Amino acid sequence: MIDADVVTVFVAALLTALATGLGALPLLFARASDRTMLGLANALASGVMLGASVSLTLQAVDRSAMRAWLGVAAGVVFILVLSRYLHAPHRELGLGSLRGDDALKALLIVAVMTVHSVAEGVGVGAAFGGGETLGILIAVAIAVHNIPEGLAISLVLVPRGASVQSAAGWSIFSSLPQPLLAVPAFLFVDAFEGVLPVALGFAAGAMAWMVARELVPEALGQASVRAVVVTGIASFGAMLVFQAILL
C-alpha cells in the first residue's frame, strides 16, 4: 500500500470539485426557457437528485443505520428551515442575474448540493486514509459522479436565465467543501469515519426534500404529468445505474 500525502489528497479533491462544472456543458445546446422546457428540466434534475439521494442513504445505512436516519431527519429539517427563511415576505433574493422565485430555487439547490459535497469531501479524505491507490480510485469515481450533479444544478439555473458559464461556476462552488474537508478527513480519518453516515444521510434528506417540495410541484405545473413522470423516472434510473457502476 502506497501512503498518500496532504498535497495529493487536496489536488485530487480539488479536481473532483472542478469536474462538477462539466455538468453545465450540455446546456450550451439547450438554451430554450419556455414553461415546458423548464418543467422537463426540473423533472430531469429531480430524477438525478433522487437517484443520488437513494445511493447516499444506502451508503449511510451500510455504515450505521441509526446515524444514517438521524442524518436524513436533520437534512430535511435544515433545508425546511432554510426554505422558510428564504421564503419570508419582503426578502429580496438574488443570485447572479436571477431574482425573486428564480433566485430562491437557485439558492436552494446550490445550498443542497453544497451540503452534499461535505459528505463527498469526507469520503475522499477517508479513502486516501486507506492508501493512495484506493484514494485515487474513489476520487475519480466521485469526479465522474459529480458531472450529473453539476447538470442538476445547471438544469435549475440555465432555463431560468442564468448563463451556462454562471451555472458552471455555481456548480464548482457547490463542490468546494470537497477539497476543504478531504485533507482534515485524511489526517483524522477515524474521527471523520464516525460522522460520515450522518453526513451522507443529511445530504440525502436535504436533496429528497428539495425534490419533493420544490422541483416536482413546479415541474407538474409547467409540463404534462406524463412528460414529468417519464423524464423523472428515466433520469432517476439512469442515475442509479450510473452510481452502481462507479461506486
Name every residue whose Cβ is closer than 8 Å to that of residue 116 and which is 6 or more positions away in sequence. 52, 56, 149, 174, 203, 206, 207
In tens, the pLDDT along 182-241 reads: 999 888 887 788 888 898 899 889 889 889 888 899 889 888 999 999 999 999 999 888
Which whole number is the average pLDDT over 103-115? 85
Please indicate whether residue 75 or residue 2 has the higher confidence score (pLDDT).
Answer: 75
pLDDT of 22 > 70? The answer is yes
Cβ 34 vs Cβ 189: under 8 Å: no
Q: Considering only 2-6, 25-29, 131-135, 192-196, which range has the smallest mean pLDDT?
A: 2-6
Please indicate whether residue 1 or residue 150 has the higher confidence score (pLDDT).
Answer: 150
Extract the C-alpha cell encoding 231. Answer: 423524464
CA angle, 177 as apex, 169 and 42 as ends, to 5°?
Answer: 50
pLDDT at residue number 210: 87
pLDDT of 104 > 70? The answer is yes
User: Where would I find the beta strands (DSSP E) of the chain?
Assistant: 94-95, 98-99
Nearest to 27 by CA among 142, 162, 143, 144: 162
Cβ 109 vs Cβ 153: under 8 Å: yes
Specify the pTM: 0.80
In tens, the pLDDT along 140-178 reads: 888 888 898 898 899 888 888 888 999 999 999 999 999
Dump the DSSP string for 69-105. Answer: HHHHHHHHHHHHHHHHHHT-TT---EETTEEHHHHHH
231: left (phi over 0), alpha (psi -120 to 50) or beta: alpha
Please indicate whether residue 99 or residue 169 has the higher confidence score (pLDDT).
Answer: 169
Nearest to 190 by CA among 130, 140, 115, 116: 130
pLDDT at residue number 59: 85
H and E: helices and strands count for the chain: 10, 2
Percent of the chain having pLDDT more than 70?
A: 91
Query: Residue 205, Cβ neighbours under 10 Å: how many?
Result: 29
Please indicate whether residue 131 or residue 227 has the higher confidence score (pLDDT).
Answer: 227
Which whole number is the average pLDDT over 114-118? 87
